[in-house]
Structure 1
Amino acid sequence: MLGVEALNGGTAMHAFVQRQLHEMSHHVGMYSPLTAKSVLERFWASGETSWDACFDTPHLFCTQMAINVARVVSPVLPES
């Protein structure tokens, strides 16, 4: 969503999104963020402005998600 909104943000916002997607790919060890980066770069260069124009072909973007549940799950205390 940020990538489509970045259309209005100019080159500085484009560079930020590109950099973040590249770093995300490196961090999670997956290619999907680089695919998203390529899709967005084509979209930005196209001059189109609609969401549907950005995703003119089907794409599946999956990334590994990690959730810190330390505050959600109470620790199990050993019985005395």
Structure 2
Amino acid sequence: MRSGADAARGRPSEQNELAGFGNDNDAQQHARDQRMLNITPDTGALLAVRGAAWAHATDHAHDLRQRAWLACATWSKNW
């Protein structure tokens, strides 16, 4: 299993492809609820590293899964 830092550094072509897809979508969509509102690849890498460091330092994998689920559930709501 790869660490968060390895995953953040790995596969830059996929990161760029996803960022490009999101940017293209956002350029075509004018309604906020239809836009992806992406974070940048650099921010994603930082979040992956910080999240992995937090999970490793505290060893609360269950809590991390709960927070990830909550973040996904919150993100799916229309703001």
Q: Which TM-score bucket, shorter chain as reference?
A: 0.3 to 0.5
Which protein is richer in helix relative to its size?
2
User: TM-score, normalised on structure 2?
Assistant: 0.42
User: TM-score, normalised on structure 1?
Assistant: 0.42
| Greater relative contact order (CA < 8 Å, ≥ 6 in sequence) | 2
